Chain A
Amino acid sequence: MVTRWLARVLLAVAVRRWPAPLRDELRAEWLAELHVLASPPQPVRMLRFAASLALTRPRLGARIPLVDTELTIGRVARHTLLVLLAPVATIGLGVFTPFPAGLLAATVLVLLAVLAGAASPLLRPGAVVVAVVGPATGVLLLAPLGQPYLDGAWQTPAATGLWGAALAAVLLLASRFRARAAVVLAGLGGLAACWLASTFATLPSAGRSSLDTGYALLWYPAGVLWPLAVPVGDLKADSTVCAAADCAHSPAAIDRLMDVTEGYPNALTITTAYVVAYVLAATAAARTD
């Protein structure tokens, strides 16, 4: 009984992998086969039949080629330069550009990423994601080597690696959906990846800087939304931070947080926006071709 129910659940999953006009017929056909396997009951064969269908994505048409047929050296060179230089620009915007100008420049960069993504020479979603997330993660990891000013949160490669892996997974999933759902999924997933990575990256330095880790989940929005006030608690009394008599004149917790993050949440957010814009535009263009 349980086996039959489980097999039906797996078949319901399997049917959703097929184009909508075929689903009703396939459901009826597979349920008829399941009925045969259920009388007399053959639980293993029933589950194997349903699981194989649920786990396999049907390839009905020709496989999407890896690259566009109209490929020129110039086009490949332009896109290679873009995916290598865009993360450098997003880091620069996140760390060194003041708030309103940085936001404006980031918006322009995202619009350019949409245009560039729509003309991407890569057609398969997996290849697009690797080609964009890979260099972006690499540049973020190497940034502290090129710019010694970037310390604190920037010195936590595991957090940046986590961001890259989470963003790639979210984008691969989003590329399977239609435009609107893909934008929502990639947007929320990208935000979650930034939030998670920023929190993990700030934690090691925060302890040394007397920041209250009880507010850890607010560090990311506080870093990105500054100068808007997001509460990050008070600095813990620490002789290395302020002398007991002079704590009234010690820096505010938000200033200490900014010293620790060094623009890492902003850079991560702008890089995420560029990556999401490029990948979604590229996968949408490949789908409609």
Chain B
Amino acid sequence: MRVTVAVATVLAALLEEPDADRYGLELMAATGLPSGTIYPILRRLQDAGWVTADWERIDPVTAGRPARRYYRLTPDGAQRARAALAELRAATTPRPSTPDSVAGRRRPRPAW
């Protein structure tokens, strides 16, 4: 599973409540991503086994609306998502500079 910035954004939103069922519109609101981006990502996450999708168990006639589809991280998916986000964070966080390197940057030493 290739974790792009958009995929990481969706994973971060799902990890906020790993045990909660989330639907597409809710994830769009949480991530700010458009529907054309969210649904292909959710499909890829399903194919990779990171997310499961289940239909809401309601009677559409009684509820007065069609059933929604809910997404939830699988236990394995939650673990992998945390690892992927940690990896991404480590790769994108700048390394803290040592005092020596800072001093060195301020005052370049002569080559001799």
Contacts and interface: CB of A to CB of B under 8 A. Distances in A.
Given A33-B23, A36-B25, A25 B40 contact: no
A28 B43 contact: no
Contact of A58 (B34, B40, B69): B40
A121 B2 CA distance: 25
A32 B36 contact: no
A84 interface: no
Interface residues of B, number: 19
Nearest to B37: A56
Contact of A53 (B35, B43, B65): B35
Contacts of A49: 25, 28, 35
Contact of B69 (A14, A32, A50, A54): A32
Contacts of A36: 25, 65, 68
Contacts of A62: 2
A252 interface: no
A248 interface: no
B46 to A, nearest CB: 10
B44 interface: yes
**Secondary structure class of chain A's binding surface, majority of residues:** helix
Given A32-B68, A33-B24, A55 B39 contact: no
Interface residues of A, number: 26
B40 A60 contact: yes
Interface of B: 2, 23-25, 28, 34-37, 39-40, 43-44, 47, 65-69
27 contacts: A22-B43, A25-B69, A30-B35, A31-B66, A32-B66, A32-B67, A32-B68, A32-B69, A33-B35, A35-B65, A36-B25, A36-B65, A37-B25, A39-B65, A48-B34, A49-B35, A50-B35, A52-B34, A54-B36, A55-B36, A56-B37, A56-B40, A58-B40, A60-B40, A60-B43, A60-B44, A60-B47
Interface of A: 14, 22, 25-26, 28-33, 35-37, 39, 48-50, 52-56, 58-60, 62
